[in-house]
Structure formats: C-alpha cells, structure tokens
Amino acid sequence: MSMYSQSCETIDQHVGAKAISWKGAIPFLSVHLMCLWAFQTGISWELVALAVGSYYLRMFAITAGYHRYFSHRSYKTSRVFQFLLAVLAMTSAQKGVLWWASHHRHHHRHSDREEDRHSPVQRGFWYSHVGWLLSDEYVRTEFALVRDLEKYPELRVLNRFHYIPPFLYALLIFMLWGFPGLIWGFFISTSVLYHCTFFINSLTHIMGRVRYNSRDGSRNSFILAVLCCGEGWHNNHHYYQSSVNQGWRWWEVDLSYYVLTVLSWLGIVWDLRTPPAHIKAKVLVPGHTVNLS
C-alpha cells in the first residue's frame, strides 16, 4: 500500500468533528465561494493576467518573506523592508507573520513525527493540507518560538491585526479593476494561493523524489517548484534548512531566489546563505532507505 493511501486512510483516526472549528472556517470557505462569481463576471485575458500576477506577487512574499526570511532567517534585510515583506505576505490571508513563522519552526522541529501538526504521514492528507488550519487548537501564536521576531512592535501589531492587510489589498484591487478584478485578482488568486502553499505541507511529504536523507518524508517536486516559486524542492530544504535557495541544481527552478539575488544587487537584502558544496554532494546512495527514526 502506498504512503498516500495510508495517509488518506488515517484521516478518521486523527481528525474528528471536534477538530474543526466551523465558525473559524467561515472566512476561509467564503473566499472559495466568492470564486463562483466568476460565472457572472466572465473571463478575459486581462482578468487571468491579474489573477496570475496577484498570485505570484504574494507567493513570492510568502516564500521569500514568511518562509525563508521570517521562519529561517536565511538572509538579512533592513527593518523597513522586513515590515514591507510582512505586510505583502499577509495579504495572502494566511494569518499573521509571527503565527506563520512560529508554526513553521515547530514543524521543522518535529517533521513527520507525532508532534508535527500537519504531517500527512501522521495525520492524513486532508488534515495536513487544510484541516489543521481550521482547528481551534492552533489559532494561537507560539511566541516562545519567535523571540527574535517578537521584539519588533510593528510585527506584533501586524500579527494581532492580521485581517487588515488582505482587506486593504482586496479594496485596492476593487478600486483599480472593479468587481470582476476583485473576484479574479483577490478571491480566485487567494484560493489558488491557499492550496498551492498547503501542498508543500501535504503533497511534498508523500509524493516526489528524495535526494537527501533529511530523516523525514520530505520530497522534491518540479511542478510545485514552478507553482510555488521554488518551494517544491522540499527535500533539499529539509536537508539544509538555512539555505536561501531551495533549488540547488541549475535546472531546479527557484523564482524566489532569483528575485532575492536581484534585490541583493540593489542592496535591499544581503548575506544570502547558500548550501556549501559538501552539503550538496551528500546525495543518497541508490537503494538507500530514508530513516524516519
């Protein structure tokens, strides 16, 4: 039986009705339901371009901001750009910057172990994909895991009022492109952004190729790397978490790293950490079994 099948069969064992806060799920479900207005607005190349542009702008902010900067501190930047990164990432409606970083750091401490909140190996595919986000159990920010970020009062304020950036972003799109733009540039774009981000939690721990013994179920996926600005090289990342680039071969597409490199030329970011040659060289021997113990 495949790991995917096993993970799907364990859903009922780990996720009961009490695990989901349906009141808390209303905003999440509403974003998806608003996408149905696309049948009324119709479709055009301009609207599709707006949706795609809005998607990749915010995917960059999530991957380069929430993930590589705030969660892993893989490069340095100014306090002003740090704030702008946080604001832009929060327009994705994926809660606050400190909340995101604290839960991600917890994930790396316990990756695919029993304590891991969104491991498809431990908790089933759908719970790891979205169920844990709709649970009352994980709504709080674990400030003990983000002491280095908590010291900034502006980040604490953003984290507390995390619903303001996505609201203002949606309002701006509505003012510039009207109601059709709001549907495509915010609601459709945000819904796709949700699930492509969540696929890194779910799919890249059960499907894909393994190059390094990261001692968990992380895998590499070319398709998700393209969709998620380089995040699909998940096995690379779990093996050497402090690296700013997650695509380590010339053919491993990593859009976020390319943009960060350009920003480093402009002096906006600096001290980009990349994996040493001896780290990249430690590939698995063919036939080797990944040890999850």
Task: Tell me the pLDDT tens digit for each residue of 33-90.
Answer: 999 999 999 999 999 999 999 999 999 999 999 999 999 999 999 999 999 999 999 9
> Is the model's pLDDT at 8 over the cut of 90?
no
Rounded CA-CA distance 238/217 in Å is 9
The string of DSSP codes covering 47-111 is: HHHHHHHHHHHHHHIIIIIIIIIIIT--SEE-HHHHHHHHHHHHTT-S--HHHHHHHHHHHHHTT
At 2 the pLDDT is 38
> What is the phi/psi pair of residue 270, to 5°?
-160, 175
Rounded CA-CA distance 72/170 in Å is 29
Per-residue pLDDT tens digits for 161-190: 999 999 999 999 999 999 999 999 999 999
At 286 the pLDDT is 53
- pLDDT band at residue 113 using 50, 70 and 90 as cut-offs: confident
The string of DSSP codes covering 233-271 is: BHHHHHHSTT-S-S--STTS--HHHHHHHHHHHTTSEE-
Rounded CA-CA distance 274/244 in Å is 6
- pLDDT band at residue 264 using 50, 70 and 90 as cut-offs: very high
**Residue 190 three-state SS:** helix
Q: Please tell me the pTM assigned to this model.
A: 0.89
**Residue 220 three-state SS:** strand
Output the CA–CA distances (angstroms, integers) from residue 23 to 18, 26, 121, 131, 190, in the order listed: 12, 6, 27, 13, 20
**Average confidence score pLDDT of the chain:** 89
Q: Cα-atom radius of gyration of the chain, to the nearest Å?
A: 19
> Is the model's pLDDT at 153 over the cut of 70?
yes
Per-residue pLDDT tens digits for 204-247: 999 999 999 998 999 999 999 999 999 999 999 999 999 999 99
Rounded CA-CA distance 87/93 in Å is 10
Structure tokens given for 181: 């733009």
Rounded CA-CA distance 152/83 in Å is 10
Structure tokens given for 121: 């190996």
At 19 the pLDDT is 61
At 23 the pLDDT is 72
